[in-house]
Each structure stands twice: as structure tokens, then as C-alpha cells.
Amino acid sequence: MDTILTVDNLHINFYTNNRCNEAVRGVSFQLKKGRTLCLVGESGCGKSVTASSIMRLLPPLSRIEEGEIIYHTDQGDLRLHELDPNGPEIRSIRGAEIAMIFQDPMTALNPVYTVGFQIREAFMYHTKMAAAAMKEKAVELLRSMRIPAPEQRVNEYIHQYSGGMRQRAMIAMAMACNPQILIADEPTTALDVTVQAQIFDLMNDLQREHNAAILLITHDMGVVAELAHDVVVMYMGDAVENGPVEEILTKPAHPYTSALLRSIPVLGQSKSQKLEPIRGSTPDPYNRPKGCQFRPRCDFATEKCLQDPETFDVSADHTVKCWHWEKVLANA
């Protein structure tokens, strides 16, 4: 399998309000062609920040401190983390080769242009297509997103779309140029399950037809089980566990992953199951615990956990950042 993107030991800090927040502290993963990687974890753990750093779209008061983001193209490797975030190289990649679906569609779509215009603009910038063909392709894309009456909708503005349709319009734009890498930041949280299912089908098509790599951010374990090939679990900026989906969901080696799985209701088990909430609450990012970030809430914690845990190999491509992962596995 070809690796198309490598993120290695990524650290990102935020410097807002005259404080320093280590939003991402050592995340590593690889995106592979034709595979889907899911990034899961609770709100504020750094999923969106990681994703937007790949596109070099971080907000102004933040900085990549350490680590590498490498895009492997046919012409050789591109070190994305070294590019000027406003420079021509990254701009020619954005949208064409790496596309992103944002958490909030209103920030990504321009209210003063029609949806069709914005899709055509993407074509204009990245491809050489005749005007008529572009128009047709835009309609085609909206149709494939199951937006009703696409011929008419293509000439409408974003405020005339419903929430779900906005999301789909943005997905249409992201998919417009058949990107190599599609980053989807919670693309379906605002949508109904029936519409969500349609959109996942479309992402699957993109993957099958163009062998695209997908980085999907979600906190729905159901979505993970259904779409992911690989999973990265994040907690407070750390990538605590990383591995193939079957292993993560059935044999979690990190206490956080296993606690997370025990705290969500599983469909089909009705009231017989017992939910075990994770005790305590997420720490304040400005007042982090020493050593392992999960320590105050962890059942396995010992003295040793006051030191930052190292990365251990559970199996060939399953890694975990926990001192006592063997105990966790044995306990399952």
C-alpha cells in the first residue's frame, strides 16, 4: 500500500490570550492511498487543528513547533510543514490534490457568490476546462450529492440552502477536482442519518474510483466502525493509540480507548447493556496534569505515569502511548 501523507511527531501551539496552549503534542500517522483513517477523540482534543495544519490553514496565533508533514507525490516528497502558508505551492495543492470539508459550512462558503460559481472557480483555478463543461460538471456534482433540482440550485446562494444542503454543497466543492487526499472534519454532524449514509456512499465512490486517501474526523464510533480502515485516538493533544480499526475496537490497548468504548450505547443491545461513564472530566489545557494526560481519570495509573508515556508496539501496525498497555489488554 502506498503512503501518500506522513505526519510525524507533530506539535502545534496556540498563543492566544497571552498564554501558550499545546493543542497538539506529538501526533504521528500515515495516510495510505485508497484507505480511510479516522481521527477520534473528545471535543477540544486537537482533531481539527491537526487536520487544518495539513492544509496549512492554521489560525494566525498558532505555530507548528516541531515535527513533519510530508506529502508523497509522484514527483517526489513535498515537505508541507516548510511551505509558506500563503505561498503558491500550497495554494496549488489546496483544493486540487488535498481538499477539506470543514466542520462549519458557513465559514467555508462565500455568501455573496452562487454555489455554482464557487464550484466553477475551483475548476478554473485547477483545471483547463471549457466554460460550458464546467457548468455541466457543477450541476452534475450537485446532482450526485442528491441535491434536488440541481439545475436551479446551482444558481442559488448559500443562504437559500438548508443546513444539510449547505454541507453537501461544500462536500461537492471538496470533491470537485477529485483530490488525492480528502480531509473531512465531522462532515455529517449536522445531517440526518439517512442523508449521512448517502454522503458516506459518495466518499466511498471517490475512494474506489480515484484511489483517494480519506482522513475522517468524527466522534461517532458507529461511523468509525463502518468507514475506517485505520484509527487514531486522540486525547488532550496526544495521539494515544493508532492502529487498524478491528484491533482498536475489539482489543483497545489504551485505557482511554477502552473506557470510551464502554461509555457509548451500542445499537441492538437495548437496555441490557451497562454504560460506564469515564470518571472525572477533561483537564483544563492550561493546567495539564504531569506526565500522562489521562492519569487523573485512569484506572491503571501508577507512579510511573507521572512520566510521559513512550510509544509501544502492540502489533505490527498498532501502537499505543501507555506504560501499562499490557495490563490493559490482559484486563479486557
Partner 1 sequence: MSRTASRLDRKMDLLKMQEKEGLLKSKEGSRAVGKFIQNKLALIGLVVFAVILLSSIFAPLLTKYDPAMIDLRARLSPPSWEHLFGTDKLGRDVFARVLYGGRISILVGFGGALGAALVGVSLGTYAGYKGGWLDKILLRVSEIFMAFPQIILVLLLVSLLGQSLWNLLVIFTITGWGSVYRMARSQMLSIREEEYVQALKAFGLSDAIIAYKHMLPNALGPIMVNLTLSTAMFILEETALSFLGLGVPLHIPTWGNILNAAQDLTILQEAWWIWVPVGLVISAFVLSINFVGDGLRDSADPTQQG
Partner 2 sequence: MHREKEVLLKIRNAQTYFPVQKGLLKRTVGHVRAVDNVSLDVYRGETLGLVGESGCGKTTLGKSILQLVRPTGGEFIYNFDGQEKDLRKLSNEEMMQARKRLQIVFQDPHSSLNPAFTIFGSLQDPLKKFGIKSKEERKQIIGDLLEAVNLRREYMHRYPHEFSGGQRQRIGIARALSLGPELIICDEAVSALDVSIQAQVLNLLLELKEKHKLTYIFISHDLSVVEYMSDRIAVMYLGKIVELAQAEDLFANAMHPYSQALLSAIPVAEVGRKRNRIVLEGNVPSPVDPPPGCAFHPRCPYAMEMCKTTVPELRKHIIDGREHHVACHLTDARAVTTQKTS
Q: Which does 129 bind (CB under 5 to 8 A by kind): ligand ATP, partner 1, partner 2, none?
A: none
Binding positions for ligand ATP, 285-314, rule CB under 6 A = 285
- Residue 79 binds to partner 1 (criterion: CB under 8 A): no
Q: For residue 143, what are the CA distances in angstroms to 52, 139, 165, 294? A: 28, 6, 11, 46
Q: Which does 292 bind (CB under 5 to 8 A by kind): partner 1, ligand SF4, Mg ion, none?
A: ligand SF4
Q: Which does 63 bind (CB under 5 to 8 A by kind): partner 2, ligand ATP, partner 1, none?
A: partner 1
- Residue 47 binds to ligand ATP (criterion: CB under 6 A): yes
Residue whose grid cell is 498497555 = 325
- Residue 46 binds to ligand ATP (criterion: CB under 6 A): yes
Piece of 29-37, 43-51, 80-88, 106-114 that binds ligand ATP (CB under 6 A): 43-51
- Residue choice 9, 106, 197, 286 for contact with partner 1 (CB under 8 A): 286
- Residue 322 binds to ligand SF4 (criterion: CB under 6 A): yes
Output the smallest distance, CB 60 to partner 1, in A. Answer: 9
Binding mask 301-320 toward ligand SF4 (x if CB under 6 A, else -) reads x---x---x-----------
Q: For residue 182, what are the CA distances in angstroms to 11, 35, 212, 242? A: 22, 11, 7, 19
Output the smallest distance, CB 63 to partner 2, in A. Answer: 27
Piece of 87-95, 192-200, 210-218, 321-329 that binds ligand SF4 (CB under 6 A): 321-329
Helix boundaries (H) for the chain = 47-54, 88-93, 105-108, 115-126, 131-144, 150-153, 163-175, 193-210, 221-227, 245-250, 255-262, 325-331
Closest CB to ligand ATP among 14 and 323? Answer: 14
- Residue 67 binds to ligand ATP (criterion: CB under 6 A): no
Binding positions for ligand ATP, 95-114, rule CB under 6 A = 103
Output the CA torsion sign for 200, 203, 207, 209: positive
Q: For residues 72 and 100, what is the distance between their CA atoms, to the nearest angstrom?
A: 18
Q: For residues 87 and 206, what is the distance between their CA atoms, to the nearest angstrom?
A: 28
DSSP category for residue 214: E
Piece of 42-50, 77-85, 87-95, 112-120 that binds ligand ATP (CB under 6 A): 42-50
Side by side, the strands of the sheet bearing 3-14 are 21-32, 3-14, 62-73, 76-79
Answer for the pair 177, 118: CB distance below 8 angstroms, yes or no: no
Piece of 51-59, 189-197, 203-211, 295-303 that binds ligand SF4 (CB under 6 A): 295-303
Binding mask 15-44 toward partner 1 (x if CB under 8 A, else -) reads xxxxxx------------------------
Output the CA torsion sign for 30, 238, 65, 179: positive
